[in-house]
Amino acid sequence: MSTLRVPVGDKDHITGDLHAEKVLVEYGDYQCPHCAKAHPFVQKLLKEFKGEVKFVFRNFPLQEVHPMAMMAALATEAAAKQDKFWEMHDIIFEHQQTLSADAILDFAAELGMDQARFGKDLLDKELMNKVERDFVSGLRSGVNGTPTFFLNGQLVTTYNETYESLAAALKG
């Protein structure tokens, strides 16, 4: 069974209860239709298991099949510099069908971000390094597709693209 090789740390994007015993990590790709399908499931879990779960999202852009995945990942990292990671994360998944460079710039404007800073941050090599570190940590943990979930460091093997399968992992 695969285990999470890189523990959750202060460089991760975390939401939910920061002190929860249940830690759900997703390796995702912003252009992956399966990740877009999982997105509302995760949001529902965070509400249903409020106070019980910490959620971490790590970038795993599959650039060969999803040409906008890397730019989308960089956009969320640039948004994080303006404390808007989760807002950008959500808006990209909610508008995945119309993902483009122009759409990403429009999302930043819609979120009230400093446009000049956002544009500059998109080109920041440190953000590219962060996305690459996420990707490599996924490879080291046995990730080969998206979404891949880990609960408390163990691969979730029961997820079958239903809310119930993800919720069952948390209840188990």
Decide: 13 and 21 in contact? Cβ < 8 Å. Answer: no
**Does position 172 have pLDDT exceeding 90, yes or no?**
no
Total count of residues recorded for the chain:
172
Q: How many whole angstroms separate alpha carbon 42 and alpha carbon 142?
A: 21
Q: Give the closest residue to 23 by CA, choosing from 11, 14, 32.
A: 14
CA distances from 163 to 42, 53, 147, 166 (A): 8, 15, 13, 5
Question: What pLDDT, on a 0 to 100 scale, did the predictor assign at position 41?
Answer: 97
Dump pLDDT digits (tens) for 12-36.
Answer: 999 999 999 999 999 999 999 999 9
- Whether the upstream peptide bond of residue 61 has omega within 30° of 0, thus cis, is no
Alpha-carbon distance of 45 to 53, in angstroms, equals: 8
User: What digits encode the pLDDT tens for the residues 35-83?
Assistant: 999 999 999 999 999 999 999 999 999 999 999 999 999 999 999 999 9
* Structure-block tokens of residue 137: 């940590």
Q: Which two tokens stand for residue 24?
A: 């759900």
d(CA 117, CA 79): 10
Peptide bond into 33 cis (omega under 30): no
pLDDT digits (tens, 9 = 90+) for 82-134: 999 999 999 999 999 999 999 999 999 999 999 999 999 999 999 999 999 99
- Say how many C-beta atoms besides its own lie within 10 A of residue 58's C-beta: 26
- Position 148 scores a pLDDT of 98
Domains, the chain = 13-171 (3.40.30.10)
